[in-house]
């Protein structure tokens, strides 16, 4: 049986469209952020549900991490730039970081956002077993992970993405 060139072309085109549609659907499905409770330095608690409706940056860091310390002023500036528009930042100190060091760092740097200590490592575990610092997650208003950064983010690109998410609503 011989197929005409137009039938083969149409079939190939249909296959290409189906593959593109499946690829787009897989990209369109964002992973939900895990349900966690953050215990902040002041002892208060914030849950993932408390943050719904906001764009949230969750930054896993340690006081002993040179890159973490280096990027912290930019994370603070990003927080200040967008917080009035519904943006929140939570810096999660790793379980091995001594709480006194974390508290002193947050106080001396006057960090303008929430700082949590992951004493048990449960938060890092729930975010996919984070071990490398800094690791940062950007979460949209629906509680879905939009982006994961390992290492220092490109802050210009991060700002553009945050702005896009906040504008989209």
Instruction: For residue range 20-68, list pLDDT tens digits in order.
Output: 555 554 456 799 999 999 999 999 999 999 999 999 999 999 999 999 9
Domain 31-168 adopts which CATH fold?
A: Glutaredoxin (3.40.30)
Which long-range contacts does 25-30 make (Cβ < 8 Å, 24+ apart)? 30/140, 30/144, 30/145, 30/146
In the chain, where are the structural domains located? Answer: 31-168
| C-alpha distances in Å from residue 132, one per residue of 19, 55, 150, 152 | 35, 23, 7, 11
pTM of this structure: 0.83
Place 18 in a pLDDT band, splitting at 50, 70 and 90. very low
Beta strand pairing status for 144-150 and 135-139? antiparallel
């Amino acid at each position: 049986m011989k197929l005409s060139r137009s039938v083969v072309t149409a079939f190939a085109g249909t296959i290409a469209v189906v593959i593109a549609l499946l690829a787009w659907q897989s990209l369109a499905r964002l992973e939900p952020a895990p349900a966690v409770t953050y215990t902040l330095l002041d002892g208060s608690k914030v849950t993932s549900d408390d943050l719904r409706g906001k764009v949230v940056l969750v930054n896993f860091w340690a006081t002993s991490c040179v890159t973490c310390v280096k990027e912290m002023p930019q994370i603070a500036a990003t927080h200040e730039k967008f917080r009035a528009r519904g943006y929140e930042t939570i810096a999660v100190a790793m379980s091995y970081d001594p709480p006194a060091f974390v508290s002193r760092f947050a106080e001396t740097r006057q960090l303008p956002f929430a700082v949590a200590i992951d004493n048990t490592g449960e938060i890092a575990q729930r975010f996919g077993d984070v071990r490398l610092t800094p690791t940062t997650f950007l979460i949209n208003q629906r509680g879905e992970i939009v982006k994961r950064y390992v290492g220092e983010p490109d802050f210009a690109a991060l700002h553009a993405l945050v702005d896009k998410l906040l504008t989209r609503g």
